[in-house]
Structure 1
Amino acid sequence: MVLPVLRLAVSCRCQTAWRNFQQIQRTPLRQWLLKRRQTTVTTESVLVRSAAIPNAASDRVIGRWLLGCSGLVLGAVVLGGVTRLTESGLSMVDWHLVKEMKPPQTRAEWEAEFSKYKQFPEFKIMNHDMTLTEFKFIFYMEWGHRMWGRLVGLAYILPAAYFWRRGFFSRSMKPRVLGLCGFVVFQGLLGWYMVKSGLEEKPESFDVPRVSQYRLAAHLGSALLLYCASLWTGLTLMLPVNKVPDSRQMLQLRRFAKVTGGLVFLTALSGAFVAGLDAGLVYNSFPKMGERWIPDDLLAFSPTIKNMFENPTTVQFDHRILAIGSLTAITGLYLLSRRTHLPRRAKIAIGCLTAMAYTQVVLGISTLLLYVPTPLAATHQSGSVALLSFAVWVLAELRKAVK
């Protein structure tokens, strides 16, 4: 008798609670709260979708970031050139990603670092009478170059991760950014691979210890590729496409500008072989090399192809020919542009490229005639990157609009 009564009471109470819940659901306050929540969710979803879609504002932000990164790469190239000219690149005989970020502090630490340097060929053959003070100078040069390289890596990777998370990158931009960040890491590893070639014992050689010119050219070439890719992408995001008619003359100008840019890049890359072999010290005369237009030892090595990369005379000769070819091509580009109707920005870019080309040739000849003084040689190396920068700017101004 008691159990049925309890069941009836529980059932009645549950039905009453359900009716009360339904009444609360129908109250204006509940409806207002539900409507506000739906509106908030809808607004948040719209904001997320809009943030994930790149627009003109986000393109400008990314463009400025990449231009800033290209400026840092330019600084690394210039600093690397000065490090090479001062023969400081082999002063740090170890490579640690984090540990070497702090240079020696006490005299005992400096003595320990100097003792490690004394075990390698550069000290034994060239710098056997070097003092600790002189060692500190070349050490700080190489340390500054390595720290600058780490700064470049952070400038690429950290903002890229932030922009990726915020949805700033378009679908086509994501693989470019991944490629740039991956190339920065590769560049750091390639730098250490280059340095190792100068630390190796070579019993058969009595020449001045130096890094492999092949690895030096690869290291410089990859840095220039990273610089050009960053600069090109940044400029194309920042600069609107010029409205020019797709005439036959304009098509020829674009093609000629691409060939000229490639020639400028090859000339800059050939400079790495000149630096790696100290080829600027073999014939310090211009326009002839010694008493001849074509020196006798141009093809002294066997097989013949070996002269292109290992014979200092041939390397200097090739660099001269490429430089004269670049100057001729840039002059031709300027004359061709004068007969073509171009926007003002494009004319300014071509004018700057032409002026820089003649300045660079003057710097190169002066460096050669004065037996490669370090300040002038460093200016000449920096000028090659400036010339390459103007070439990329010209290509960005002459690019076709993407349909």
Structure 2
Amino acid sequence: MSATITTAETTAARTTGRQTATATTTVTKPVVAYWLYFNAGLVYAIVVVGGLTRLTESGLSITEWNVISGMKPPRSEQEWRDEFEKYKQFPEYKILNRHMTLDEFKNIFYWEWSHRMIGRFIGAAFILPGLYFASRGYMTRRVAKQTFGITCMLGFQGFMGWYMVKSGLNQALMEEPGAVPRVSQYRLTAHLATAFMIYAATIFVAADILRQHKIATGTYPKETAAMLNNPVLHRFRRCGHIMGSIIFLTAMTGGLVAGLDAGLIYNEFPFMGEGIVPPKSELWSDSYVKSTDKGKWRNLLENPTTVQFDHRTMAESTAVLTTALWAYSRRLPLPKNVRMAMNTMMGAVVIQVTLGISTLIYMVPIELAAAHQAGALALLTSNFWLIHALRKVPL
């Protein structure tokens, strides 16, 4: 009788084990999420380095795009002279940097080279481990498709980077009176937007992998799941998504400010000149209107005064709305993780506003400006945390 019971228990244990193994194969292994978080950190780093490359005016120092041979920087003095001669053929040197020495050129060259090398490393860090995880069955088909999509976005981001640089190498700039050699603010903002989208996609896929693994293994807290499924959170959840869109748009107006060097005018706060709003003649100047335009809308994208005013307005709106959302959250029954995300988002807004004002009134010093750009992505990250933490969980 005892032997019969033991045999039955063993059979049941084996059956349970097989069921657990089957369940495990239907979810992605957590190691894939940690790998994606690592890559998200690399994307964050390259955004910061990209900002420093722009702030140090180094982005146009490498005038060619060579995926393989471009990995090796000049080594001999002759190679450095050859690279410098290439740079001398383009408007930035001819208009702004005629007195630049070879040593000064080396400094800006290494900034841009480092930026490109981090981009190559990110590509390898996505592709090689991704192929390994997919081949070993560590990913579900859905996650494999998602990571493949992110990898394609990375390839597009590389193209956008070079497309942006090309706009600053245009020889037509030599023919425009008073032209400043710099990349197109449109292409710079598009390049920044693509980086943010890659970062967002990586963060959300990673976070979803860990959540699905907890649900599949029965380790997700049921009390938290019940709180998240409370209908009272529907409006708050929707507001979190809206705030994400507003923060993203604010960051993109910051990209236009960077592309036009609009932060170098009106370096006071909260005023712009004699009032909070600059004169209408400056906001809607005819200087930026083309003969084919219907109205003066181009000021919104090309007039530094208008672009700075728009960014200020968006930033102030983001701060006020985030504060309102935080105050609203205090009245709701939120899980601990959600409340932490909301509090972090509120703190990130305070820091970001402080950095933005400081960057402006101190005439855009490199350290503050780089911190302000990093702060934008940090604020967006806190919003991603809030959005994902608020997602409903099947009971």
* 1:294 alignment partner, one of 256, 269, 277: 277
Kept in 2, the 8 Å contact 1:51–1:167? The answer is no
Report what 2:251 is aligned to.
268
* 2:126 alignment partner, one of 133, 156, 159: 156
Distance in 1 between residues matched to 2:116 and 2:228, nearest whole Å: 47
Share of identical aligned residues, percent?
46
TM-score where L is the length of structure 2: 0.87
1:72 Cα deviation after fit: 0.4
Distance in 1 between residues matched to 2:105 and 2:168, nearest whole Å: 17
1:371 Cα deviation after fit: 0.6
* 1:254 alignment partner, one of 234, 237, 241: 237
Kept in 1, the 8 Å contact 2:229–2:393? The answer is no
Kept in 2, the 8 Å contact 1:353–1:387? The answer is yes
TM-score where L is the length of structure 1: 0.85
Report what 2:340 is aligned to.
348
- Mean CA deviation greater in 392-401 or 79-88: 392-401
Distance in 1 between residues matched to 2:392 and 2:229, nearest whole Å: 8
* 1:229 alignment partner, one of 193, 196, 201: 201
Kept in 2, the 8 Å contact 1:51–1:166? The answer is no
Distance in 2 between residues matched to 1:245 and 1:355, nearest whole Å: 23
Q: How far does the alpha carbon of each residue in 1:58-96 deviate from its partner, in whole angstroms, 9 at most, with x for none?
A: 431111011111000000100000000000000000000
* 2:152 alignment partner, one of 172, 176, 182: 182
Report what 1:106 is aligned to.
76
Kept in 2, the 8 Å contact 1:67–1:234? The answer is yes
Kept in 1, the 8 Å contact 2:261–2:304? The answer is yes
Distance in 2 between residues matched to 1:51 and 1:97, nearest whole Å: 42
Distance in 2 between residues matched to 1:376 and 1:250, nearest whole Å: 37
SS at match of 1:232: helix
Unaligned segments of structure 2, at least 5 residues? 1-17, 215-219, 290-294
User: Does 2:288 correspond to 1:309?
Assistant: no
- Mean CA deviation greater in 202-211 or 389-398: 202-211
Kept in 2, the 8 Å contact 1:198–1:210? The answer is yes
| Map 1:3-402 → 2, pairs under 5 A | 53-55=25-27, 58-202=28-172, 203-239=175-211, 242-243=224-225, 244-296=227-279, 297-300=282-285, 301-302=288-289, 303-401=295-393
Amino acid across the alignment from 1:294 = V
RMSD of Structure 2 on Structure 1 (CA)? 1.7
Distance in 2 between residues matched to 1:363 and 1:245, nearest whole Å: 34
SS at match of 1:172: helix
Distance in 1 between residues matched to 2:373 and 2:87, nearest whole Å: 28
Q: How far does the alpha carbon of each residue in 1:37-71 deviate from its partner, in whole angstroms, 9 at most, with x for none?
A: xxxxxxxxx9xx9699244xx43111101111100
Could you say if the C-alpha distance between residues 112 and 52 of structure 1 is closer, same or farther in structure 2, counting changes exceeding 3 Å? farther
SS at match of 1:294: coil
SS at match of 2:98: coil
Kept in 2, the 8 Å contact 1:149–1:188? The answer is yes
Distance in 2 between residues matched to 1:206 and 1:159, nearest whole Å: 49
Q: How far does the alpha carbon of each residue in 1:85-130 deviate from its partner, in whole angstroms, 9 at most, with x for none?
A: 0000000000000001010000000000000000000000000000
Q: How far does the alpha carbon of each residue in 1:136-165 deviate from its partner, in whole angstroms, 9 at most, with x for none?
A: 000000000000000111111111111111
Distance in 2 between residues matched to 1:381 and 1:369, nearest whole Å: 16
Distance in 2 between residues matched to 1:281 and 1:174, nearest whole Å: 45
Kept in 2, the 8 Å contact 1:52–1:166? The answer is no
Amino acid across the alignment from 2:313 = I
- Mean CA deviation greater in 282-291 or 123-132: 282-291
**How many residues are matched?**
354
Amino acid across the alignment from 1:213 = Q
Q: How far does the alpha carbon of each residue in 1:340-382 deviate from its partner, in whole angstroms, 9 at most, with x for none?
A: 1111111111111101101100110011011111111111111
Could you say if the C-alpha distance between residues 213 and 247 of structure 1 is closer, same or farther in structure 2, counting changes exceeding 3 Å? same
Could you say if the C-alpha distance between residues 265 and 402 of structure 1 is closer, same or farther in structure 2, counting changes exceeding 3 Å? farther
Kept in 1, the 8 Å contact 2:267–2:361? The answer is yes
Higher Rg: 1
Kept in 1, the 8 Å contact 2:228–2:390? The answer is no
Amino acid across the alignment from 1:216 = L
Distance in 1 between residues matched to 2:307 and 2:29, nearest whole Å: 43
